[in-house]
Amino acid sequence: MKKFLLILPIVVITGLIFFYKFKEDGASTLNLTVNNEVESFDPAIAFNDDALFIMAQSMETLYQYHYLKRPYEVIPSLADGMPEISNDGKNYKIKIKRNIYYHENSELIPKGRTLIVDDFIWQIKRLAFKPLKSTGRWLFENKLKGFNEFSDKVGESIDAFYTEEIEGIRKIDDYTFEIQLLRPEPNLLYYLSMQFTAPVPLELIKKTDNNLKDVLVGTGPYVYERYAQGKYFLKRFTKFHKEYYPVAGDRYANTENLLSASKKRLPFIENLVIEAIPSEDLRWDKFRNGKIDILDVPKKHLVKLSTSSSDDYQKLVNEGVKVKHFSRQTTRWLGFNMNDPIWGENLNLRKAVAHAINYERYIELLTNNTNLKANSLFNPSIQGYNPSHRLPYGYDIVKAKEYLAKSGYRPGELVLTYSTRGTQKAHMEEAQFLQNQLKRIGIDLKINVLEF
């Protein structure tokens, strides 16, 4: 009996069209929610939705996304304009804004400390520092000149971390630096928009012994104050640099009147309270009781709230709740472990699985028809998306069985292992759906439950 693991890249579903609902009460505090408590605020390590959501309120990066335009457009944040890129695409000269203040909510950095290019350089060095086991190391590994060499030379030594330099990062002055790549990397602007590259002052690194797990200090609009009783408390940063609500957006932004606050200085709200609530039902109850102000509509309520004529929809409207429909840029995919000697070399076996899954049924059962079927690796909000593109495979049980036969296996001979993306109910439902789909062509699917 052959066993192997399903892990890497094939697109199955592009998740789109979620419902948001929110209410406005004119209060100075906005109550929000995340699904789980945050294990680490370290920008070199944190890489899940809950951590990034909270960190984004306090930390900024060189570039950011224009949030009212689709396809997404990268614009400056802490950078003073877009970078100067050499003709060969390997050198980026970046200027940063002046007089950008760090939060003064702790004694970890000096009062009145302002942003300098060194802070970005230290963070990139942290990504390369092996003891941190950074989840963002891949951004620069084998791409940034001298990154790998720095990592190997420094090894586990914190003393060497402080004294050695990365060849491909050259400081020109306190507000200008240059990045030198081994080869052109068209995704670099997107990398520099990720929290992995948020600036970290040297003083902060030294005073925490390079452990930022419980530290959240940045230049962003909100100062992190404390965590208490399952809630994260943040307040408006009075020295936040001048940033204004956008004056332009896409068609949706215009038709939904999202530009009515144009030119107003950010942020709008005085205080944020973000509560970690693992239970979907509890989040819904707290929203209905006025304890949460903005919430994704829980999955089981999607159908009831999908049309404005439904009784449930009208009931919420009468309670002063606004229901907003918009697309969320999320992609779901089924990935194959191409390193497996049997799976990676057996194209017919992979085709059998690709044709065995009913994607329309997946969307119907698991998303209440609120998602779109993917037609490529690109979703509609990414440059390069082509609405006329068609996948080379589709749901076809007859073809799936034919390809299984061509692969050299008969029904009942294979046991595959599917690893879930998490432990929530939706992850288990997805795994069981795939298990039932493959069972129809004679492949057994063992479910391996992983925590994200």
Dump pLDDT digits (tens) for 202-222: 999 999 999 999 999 999 999
Per the prediction, the chain carries an average pLDDT of 88
Q: With beta carbons less than 8 A apart as the criterion, state whether 190 and 95 touch.
A: no
Closest CA to 203 of 136, 104, 132: 104
The whole-number pLDDT of residue 72 equals: 87
Residue 27's pLDDT band, with cuts at 50, 70 and 90, is: low
Q: With beta carbons less than 8 A apart as the criterion, state whether 115 and 259 touch.
A: no
Q: Distance between CA 292 and CA 444 in Å, rounded?
A: 43
Site of tokens 């490529």: 376
Q: Residue 73: is its pLDDT beyond 50?
A: yes
- If residue 152 lies in a helix (H) or strand (E), which one and from where to where? helix 147-154
Q: Residue 317: is its pLDDT beyond 80?
A: no
The whole-number pLDDT of residue 303 equals: 67
- Half-sphere exposure of residue 116: CA atoms within 13 angstroms, side-chain side: 12
- Residue 318 or residue 232, greater confidence: 232
Write the Ramachandran bin of 141: left for phi over 0, alpha for psi from -120 to 50, otherwise beta: beta
Q: With beta carbons less than 8 A apart as the criterion, state whether 65 and 242 touch.
A: no
pLDDT tens column, 281-310: 899 899 888 899 888 877 777 767 766 667
Q: Residue 10: is its pLDDT beyond 80?
A: no
Q: Distance between CA 232 and CA 223 in Å, rounded?
A: 11
Q: Which two tokens stand for residue 261?
A: 């606050």
Q: Would the pTM count as exceeding 0.75?
A: yes
pLDDT > 90 fraction of the chain, expressed in percent and rounded: 65
Residue 23's pLDDT band, with cuts at 50, 70 and 90, is: very low
Q: Residue 152: is its pLDDT beyond 80?
A: yes
Q: Residue 22: is its pLDDT beyond 60?
A: no
